[in-house]
Copies of this chain bind each other. A is one copy, B any other.
Amino acid sequence: MVKTEIGYTTTDTIMVRGLNLATEIIGKFDFVDMIFFTTLSRLPSPQEKTMVNALLVTTADHGITPSSLAARLTYIGAPEALQGAVAAGLLGAGSVFLGTMQNAAEMLIEGARELSADATDEQIREAARATIRQHKEQRRAIYGVGHPIHVDGDPRVPTLRELSRANGYYNVHWRLMDAIGEVLTKEQGKNLPLNAVGAIAAAVAAMGLDPLIARGLSLVGRSAGLLAHVMEEKSAPMAREAWQLVLKDDPRNVLP
Contacts and interface: CB of A to CB of B under 8 A. Distances in A.
Given A77-B93, A91-B87, A231 B246 contact: no
- Indicate how many identical chains form the complex: 4
A209 to B, nearest CB: 10
A57 B150 CA distance: 36
Interface stretch (A108-116, A128-136, A180-188, A237-245): A237-245
A76 B245 CA distance: 20
Interface in A85-106: 85-88, 90-99, 102
Nearest to A98: B77
Interface of A: 1-16, 20-23, 25-27, 29-35, 38-39, 50, 52-54, 56-58, 60-70, 73-88, 90-99, 102, 148-153, 155-156, 158-160, 162-163, 210, 212-213, 215-217, 219-221, 223-225, 227-232, 234, 236, 238-243, 245-247, 249-250, 252-256
